[in-house]
Amino acid sequence: MINQELKTVYILLTDTDTVLSRIIKWFTNAPYNHVSIVLDEKLDEMYSFGRKYPRNPLIAGFIKEDVYFGTYRYLEDTRCLLTRMEVSSEEFARIQKVIQSFDQHKDKYSYNLLGLVGVAVQRPIDQKNKYFCSQFVAEVFEKSGLNLWDLPPALVTPNDFLMHPRFDIVYEGSLYEYPLLNHELLTRHTIDMSYPFMYPFELLKKKLPL
């Protein structure tokens, strides 16, 4: 029997201290309040449910996250925990396919804010085409045949990823000190006015009060 090639899936847990993240932390009482599924160690292929536009917390849904020019660009003090899990090549392919399906229909998805209340009272609140971040990632795993919890996705929290024994810690600390990022991009302070959501770090708190 030929040994099956193993692939690695990463989970990035972050604490951004935005208004929504503080609400989630109030519900979960956990150190990290946002979770993303990542398909490479350089954080180039990272997906979750969150802000579609960095400076607008009211419009949220399925997103491909960008640590260089997305919401995180405004949140230089973000702390993170990166974990990884080995899966078979077939499981990895299924994960990619599920994420691709979300991406192909991304305009129909929005944020399941009411679902956070369901987490607080331990009653899953599923709304059609609506997810919060950990619900989305848990459903990606479930639809890929990886049932990691005896919980419905709508009750899975970011802390459940932190506590799960299948995930090994890769890095914990400041997101922008993660060694595999392209630090040349992070130190650029030129403002591209064709991209209205880019500002240098010294203006972040003024531009992003939430």
Q: What is the pLDDT along the chain (210 residues), one digit of tens a residue?
A: 455 789 999 999 999 877 767 776 776 778 999 999 999 999 999 999 999 988 887 899 999 999 998 989 888 889 999 999 999 999 999 999 999 999 999 999 999 999 989 998 999 999 999 999 999 999 999 999 999 999 999 999 999 999 999 999 999 999 999 999 998 888 754 334 333 433 334 333 333 333
Distance CA 210, CA 159 (A): 23
Query: Cα–Cα distances in Å, from 189 out to 98, 141, 186, 192, 202?
Result: 36, 38, 8, 9, 10
Whole-prediction pTM value?
0.86
* Domain with 162 in it: 6-207
- Rounded distance between C-alpha atoms, residue 2 and residue 147, angstroms: 25
| 95, part of any domain | yes
Q: Is residue 1 part of a domain?
A: no
What's the total number of domains in the chain? 1
> Could you tell me which residues come within 8 angstroms of residue 192 by beta carbon, excluding any fewer than 6 positions away?
198
Q: Does a structural domain hold residue 20?
A: yes
